[in-house]
Amino acid sequence: MHKWLTLALVLGLTACRGKTENAPTAQAPAGSGSAAAADPWKAVDAAPPLDPKTRAEQAIARLEKIQPKLAELRELPLAKAVPAEYQTTDDFRAFMRKGLATELPPEKATKMAAAMHHLGLFKELIDLPAVLEQTMATQAAAYYDPATKKFFVVMVPDSDMMLDTISAHELTHALQDAHFDLTKYLPPTLDDDAGIARRFIAEGDATFAMFAYMATSSAGPSALPKMLELLGGQLEAMASQSTAGYAEMMKQQAAMMPGIDAELKKSMESIDDLPPMVIGPLIDSYLKGALVAMTAYKAGGWKGVDALYKKPPTSTEQVLHPATKLIPKREEPRSVTLPKLEGMELVANVIGELQWAIYFQQWEIKQPEAAVGWGGDRYAVLKDKDGKLVGYLATTWDTPKDAEEFETAYRASVAARFPTGARPDGTKVFVKRAGNHVFIVDGATDPAAVDRLAKGTKIK
């Protein structure tokens, strides 16, 4: 979902710094005073605080110094300056509504939300465009718009270093767009799993480049290879955060920042109010995505990162395990084709390893590795002649043991969702494992439905 713009998350790109003992210290900008050098992320109190628009305009004025240094570091030249401007949260919401209305018109959004709720991917039935708007409006510090080739500063922390960090991230997106065309790289035709995997590359590259820029701002780009071990420690610590842990850390950060901008504070406190299936992939694309970029950089320098745009990943399994399933050799997902199904189709898509992992976390299933070993899947949700929804899921796994672990975890999730053993409408969830494959029919009355699904599904 939501493949049409790139964002700078408030915590992922600012407050996550300095959380490990071995984390590299970001250098203060040239000419900064001793207070900023001691803690460049803390606002300097020597002068009265400026209004957000003025601070944003000052940050934008510094872009002419940041852009050439970042382009040199990232080894992607940029012929002209990237336009940027301050945008209020209200204006950003208006922009979001316009984009979402195109990507998710009401009928499509209603069908998608109903289907995902039916499968347990959403715990509650939600207004999907409204939730996506709230997610982006509360979590985006800035964004780059490939359509206008411009980036916008939305939230304005009272720290030049934080603002310059955000700028480095967004300028990296501009470099990506100029060389690899982000609109073509993130088309709306991708299935959900492949789309999330590509977002790992775009956001992970921007996050890695941003941290690399801040870490080498004094020593220069040539210092990056020597700093990889220290930088890697910080990125790995970030990537290990669960969504719940991330949300708690944001609340702690907000509490430790007296005088913080009201919009920024609100965003930092609101993550755990958002559906895990919406916020989880978004956060992971930055934090875990940075590890993908670093893995590619270690294997082949920036050219190795560039290669992930020329030959994009095809699954979240690849980007969740970049050192074993993406670089240097890829493990491609298997093709899963469902049989012809009766009823009106609402949604058909791919869940993938990441979203299965979030699903299990959401239902508090204590089998964290149940989604590992994913080989491919396909699902469809249809409305039958009686108006009831039926979900059909076919999954394949690397080994029979992986399939068995998934089946066990999935059955536990069904028990958590429906303690009585049946759905509220009286239908049931039927599960069948056959070798490496697990088939599910969610919302049927006939146990033979899962046998027909297993027999008719083609897995290559």
Looking at the domain assignment, is residue 321 inside a domain?
yes
Least Cα distance to 276 among 172, 173, 356, 366 occurs for 356
Residues linked to residue 142 through DSSP beta bridges, in sequence order = 8, 153
Looking at the domain assignment, is residue 330 inside a domain?
no
Question: What gap in Å lies between CA 308 and CA 293, rounded to an integer?
Answer: 9
Residue 432 φ/ψ, nearest 5 degrees: -140, 130
Of 228-242, 322-336, 405-419, minimum mean pLDDT range: 228-242
Looking at the domain assignment, is residue 444 inside a domain?
yes
> Which of 325, 344, 374 delimits the end of a domain?
325
Sign of CA dihedral 188, 183, 321, 204: negative
Question: What gap in Å lies between CA 52 and CA 257, rounded to an integer?
Answer: 16
Same domain assignment for residues 409 and 438: yes
Question: What gap in Å lies between CA 7 and CA 375, rounded to an integer?
Answer: 30
Task: Write the single-letter amino acid at 216.
Answer: T
Three-state secondary structure of 213-280: HHHCCCCCHHHHHHHHHHHHHHHHHHHCCCHHHHHHHHHHHHHCCCCCCHHHHHHHHCHHHCCHHHHH
pLDDT by residue (tens digit) across 265-275? 666 676 777 89
Least Cα distance to 391 among 313, 329, 338, 354 occurs for 338
Which of 5-14, 35-44, 228-237 tops mean pLDDT? 228-237
Sign of CA dihedral 315, 318, 280, 353: positive
Same domain assignment for residues 309 and 426: no
Residue 437 φ/ψ, nearest 5 degrees: -110, 145
- The predicted pLDDT at position 289 comes to 96
pLDDT at 239 over 70: yes
Q: How far apart are the first and last CA of the chain?
A: 26
Q: What is the mean pLDDT of the chain?
A: 87
> Which of 292, 325, 358 delimits the end of a domain?
325
What SS3 state is found at 7?
A: strand
pTM score:
0.89
Our measurement of the distance from residue 126's CA atom to the centroid of its chain's CA atoms, rounded to an integer in Å, reads 20
Least Cα distance to 335 among 310, 320, 314 occurs for 314
- The predicted pLDDT at position 248 comes to 76
Question: What gap in Å lies between CA 9 and CA 456, rounded to an integer?
Answer: 43
Task: Read off the DSSP letter of residue 83.
Answer: P
Torsion of CA 195, 196, 198, 203, to 10 degrees: 140
Looking at the domain assignment, is residue 1 inside a domain?
no
Distances (CA, A) of 239 to 195, 244, 331, 332, 363: 19, 13, 22, 23, 21
Q: How many domains does the chain have?
A: 2
**At 110, which helix (H) or strand (E)?**
helix 106-118
Q: Which domain holds residue 438?
A: 336-459
Looking at the domain assignment, is residue 103 inside a domain?
yes
- Residue 259: pLDDT band by 50, 70, 90 thresholds? low
Same domain assignment for residues 437 and 363: yes
Same domain assignment for residues 148 and 240: yes
Same domain assignment for residues 426 and 321: no
Same domain assignment for residues 197 and 340: no
Same domain assignment for residues 454 and 385: yes
Which residues, including other chains, have CB under 8 Å from residue 154's CB and lie 6 or more apart?
87, 88, 89, 92, 140, 141, 142, 143
Query: What's the whole-number mean pLDDT along residues 34-57?
Result: 58
Contact status, residue 320 vs residue 354, Cβ threshold 8 Å = yes
Same domain assignment for residues 367 and 305: no
Looking at the domain assignment, is residue 435 inside a domain?
yes
Give the pairing of strands 150-153 and 84-86: parallel
Question: What gap in Å lies between CA 173 and CA 181, rounded to an integer?
Answer: 10
Question: What gap in Å lies between CA 357 and CA 366, rounded to an integer?
Answer: 11
Same domain assignment for residues 437 and 319: no
Same domain assignment for residues 290 and 390: no
Same domain assignment for residues 15 and 77: yes
pLDDT by residue (tens digit) across 104-156? 999 999 999 999 999 999 999 999 999 998 888 877 889 999 999 999 999 88
Same domain assignment for residues 221 and 306: yes
Query: What's the whole-number mean pLDDT along residues 228-253?
Result: 81
Instruction: Tell me the two tokens of residue 212.
Output: 């690399």
